[in-house]
Amino acid sequence: MTHHDVLTRRPWRPLIMGRKGAVASNHPAATQAGLDALRAGGTAADAAVAVSLALGVAEPHMSGLGGDGFYHVYEAATGTSTVFNGSGTAPALATPEEFRDGMAIDSHRSAGVPGALAGVAMLHARHGRLAWADLVRPAVALAAEGVGVTHTYRRMAAMRKALLLRDAAAAGIYLADGEVPTLGAILAQPALAKTLELIAEGGAEAFYRGPIAAMLARASAAGGGLIREADIRAFAPEAQPAVTAHYRGYEIRQTPPNSTGFVLLQELLIAGNFDVAAMGYLSAEHIHTLVEAKKLAFLDRERLAGDPRFGPVDLTEILDPANARKLAAKIDPRRAASIPLKLPAPNAGETTYFCIVDAWGNAVSAIQSLNSPFGGGVTAGEAGFLLNNRMATWHLDPRHPNMLAPGKRVRHTMNAPLILKDGQLWGILGTPGADNQVQVNFQAVSALVDFGLDPQQAVEAPRWFSDQPGQNATWPHNGKEDLTIEEDVGPEVLEGLRARGHTLITQRPIHGTCSLECIRVLENGMRMAGSDPRRDGWAGAY
Which helix H or strand E contains 279, and what residues bound it?
Answer: helix 276-279
Q: Which is nearest to 220 in space by CA: 369, 117, 107, 101?
A: 107
Give burial (CB, 10 Å; 0-12/13-18/19+) of 323. middle
504: left (phi over 0), alpha (psi -120 to 50) or beta: beta
Q: H/E/C letters for each residue in 95-158?
A: CHHHHCCCCCCCCHHHCCCCCHHHHHHHHHHHHCCCCHHHHHHHHHHHHHHCEECCHHHHHHHH
- Spatial separation of the C-alpha atoms in residues 349 and 540, rounded to whole Å: 26
- Spatial separation of the C-alpha atoms in residues 242 and 188, rounded to whole Å: 38
Edge-to-edge strands of the sheet including 363-371? 238-241, 81-86, 68-74, 363-371, 350-357, 22-25, 538-541
> Is residue 150 among the annotated active site residues?
no
Task: Write the DSSP string, 8-50.
Answer: HSPPSSPPEEESS-EEEESSHHHHHHHHHHHHTT--HHHHHHH
Side-chain half-sphere of 459: how many Cα atoms within 13 Å? 36
First to last CA, the chain: 35
Biggest CA pair distance of the chain: 61
**Identity of the residue numbered 369:** S
Among residues 152, 351, 393, 513, the one annotated as catalytic is 351
Classify residue 488 by its DSSP letter: G
3-state helix, strand, coil in the chain (%, to 5): 40, 20, 45
Question: Which residues are catalytically annotated?
Answer: 351
